[in-house]
Amino acid sequence: NAGVTQTPKFRVLKTGQSMTLLCAQDMNHEYMYWYRQDPGMGLRLIHYSVGEGTTAKGEVPDGYNVSRLKKQNFLLGLESAAPSQTSVYFCASRDALGGGGPDTQYFGPGTRLTVL
């Protein structure tokens, strides 16, 4: 049971290049999330998904696209990278809401992205 994994761990891009970050979870969770973490800003939600084939915008969605073709995978794409997208990206997943309230979000180890 690996939990939440992210690929790659590190990446350096040039302005205008594209890339896809992969998040995979083996806990059969319905909900998945992408956050970005910047110094002094905490974590901010980029996009999220409440099930296979569904996605929704979070707080800071501009410049990113996502896809959830399989329940266990959530992809984050940057079509044309900009220096402002230099950040650490975290994926998280959790089970659907039960009677006791929102369950714990489990986080991946992060992807450190630098855009030059």
Partner 1 sequence: AQSVTQLGSHVSVSEGALVLLRCNYSSSVPPYLFWYVQYPNQGLQLLLKYTSAATLVKGINGFEAEFKKSETSFHLTKPSAHMSDAAEYFCAVSAASGGGADGLTFGKGTHLIIQP
What backbone phi and psi angles, to 5 degrees, belong to 2?
-85, -15
Chain centre distance of CA 73: 10
Q: Applying CB under 8 A, which of residues 33, 66, 74, 115 lies at the interface with partner 1?
A: 33
Interaction of residue 28 with partner 1, rule CB under 8 A: no
Site residues for partner 1, window 95-114 (CB under 8 A)?
Answer: 96-97, 100-102, 104-105, 107-110
Residue 95 and residue 30 in contact, taking contact as beta carbons nearer than 8 Å? yes
Interaction of residue 42 with partner 1, rule CB under 8 A: yes
Question: What minimum distance in Å lies between the beta carbon of 14 and partner 1?
Answer: 24
Q: Which residues bind partner 1 (CB under 8 A)?
A: 4, 31, 33, 35, 40-45, 48, 50, 56, 58-59, 90, 92, 96-97, 100-102, 104-105, 107-110
